[in-house]
Amino acid sequence: MFLRRRLLSTAAAAASARGPPPIRVSLTESAGRGVFATRPVSSGELLHSAQPLVSHPSHSLLHEVCYNCLRRKPGEGRASSGGYYFCSDTCSDHAKGFHDIDKDVDWSLFDYHCSSRGLKYPYMAKRLACMVISGSANADCLNILQPARLHQGTLIEMKEEFELLESTLRKAGFQEEATAFLTIDWYINVLARIRINAFRIELVASSYEDLLSSAAASVSCDSSVGNAVYMLPSFYNHDCDPNAHIVWLDSADAKLKALRDIEEGEELRICYIDTSLDADARQKILADGFGFKCHCLRCLSGD
Ligand SMILES: C[S@@+](CC[C@H](N)C(=O)[O-])C[C@H]1O[C@@H](n2cnc3c(N)ncnc32)[C@H](O)[C@@H]1O
């Protein structure tokens, strides 16, 4: 057993020094597409990193984290003309597309609508809309991701959000051709994908100051710095006893890591929810939020 583990980790270490990430996306038997290991992977190994397709800070931390990468502001940050903080010139340059659009728009009605209802996903749709208007993203860039099935009540709420987003952008006077993509169908398509695929980002404290701010944030129930949607991480299926996990060190750049030794060909699965919940609570959240019944070994054992 010991020798096998050593061989596995030596092979994985040698392979990780070269080449592309040790994963491929293909069809599973019962959970749509999934991510599979293309070689043995050892516990703790970094599978790959991923940058967000779209992200947005939590509303309450809008001026406390980088408007682009969600890194926490260390004491005195550099405010931009719109009052947002960017942690570096790279982030400020990267955000130029959507920030040039959204800084001149009066978002007060849209913000009030979302913040008074505790809505976070419309902010990501708003950011994507600004990215599309600026030409830094395609309107259909999330279409490859799996959409959620939406209920009638949700569709009615989305129509209201859409009308606010659309009227806010129209009032700002953008050329009609730049906003031609902005239809109710576009909005529903985007939100349906964000609902299933968005990650709530909680940073791992990388310094004593970070530790203190995340401790303070957890007391005020604000431990998440924002939300983001990624491409590859969206193809990972769920398991209540996962063999991989997603972590964020100091920004929205995600790291996918193995939680144990993994064989070549094994499916890599992460846990979408709090693993400490009991089986009934887990099943309810997965059915309501993600639309599936979990048949993982842990659920089957009733744990
Ligand atoms: C983030 S996506 C994962 C990738 C997805 N399978 C695809 O084809 O794009 C989440 C969706 O995958 C499916 N899924 C994930 N884990 C599953 C599981 N353990 N059992 C059944 N379906 C699962 C569900 O439809 C869920 O809403």
ipTM of the modeled complex: 0.99
pLDDT band at 221 (very low <50, low <70, confident <90, very high): very low
The two tokens of residue 251 are 């920004």
Q: Is residue 263 part of a domain?
A: no
Binding site membership of 68 for ligand 1 (Cβ less than 6 Å):
no
Residue spans of alpha helices (H) in 17-119: 89-102, 108-117
- Number of separate domains in the chain: 1
Whole-model pTM: value is 0.89
Q: Is residue 162 part of a domain?
A: yes
Cβ atoms of 290 and 194 within 8 Å: the answer is no
Q: Is residue 241 part of a domain?
A: yes
pLDDT band at 9 (very low <50, low <70, confident <90, very high): low
pLDDT tens across 230-253, in order? 999 999 999 999 999 999 999 999
C-alpha distances out from residue 30 to 88, 236, 240, 293, Å: 44, 13, 16, 11
Cβ atoms of 178 and 40 within 8 Å: the answer is no
Binding site membership of 291 for ligand 1 (Cβ less than 6 Å):
yes
pLDDT at position 176, please? 87
Number of Cβ within 10 Å of residue 3's Cβ equals: 7
Determine the 3-state secondary structure of 9 from DSSP.
Answer: helix
Structural domain harbouring 200: 47-75+87-256
242 alpha carbon – ligand 1 mean position (Å): 14
C-alpha distances out from residue 205 to 208, 250, 251, Å: 7, 7, 11
% of the chain surpassing 90 pLDDT: 82
Extract long-range pairs of 10-15: CB within 8 Å, 24+ residues apart. 11/39, 11/40, 12/39, 12/40, 12/41, 12/42, 12/45, 13/42, 13/45, 15/39, 15/40
Q: Is residue 4 part of a domain?
A: no
pLDDT at position 81, please? 47
Per-residue pLDDT, averaged over 197-217, amounts to: 70
pLDDT value at 284 more than 50 = yes
Q: What are phi and psi of 65, to 5 degrees?
A: -130, 160
The Cα 303–Cα 297 span in angstroms is 9
Q: Which positions ≥6 away from 50 have C-beta within 8 Å?
A: 230, 231, 232, 233, 253, 254, 256
Q: Is residue 111 part of a domain?
A: yes
Q: Is residue 3 part of a domain?
A: no
Mean pLDDT of the chain: 89
pLDDT value at 2 more than 50 = no
Please give the number of the atom of ligand 1 that sits closest to the Cα of 235: 4
Task: Give the type of residue at 40.
Answer: P
Q: Is residue 17 part of a domain?
A: no
Q: Is residue 275 part of a domain?
A: no
Please give the number of the atom of ligand 1 that sits closest to the Cα of 31: 22
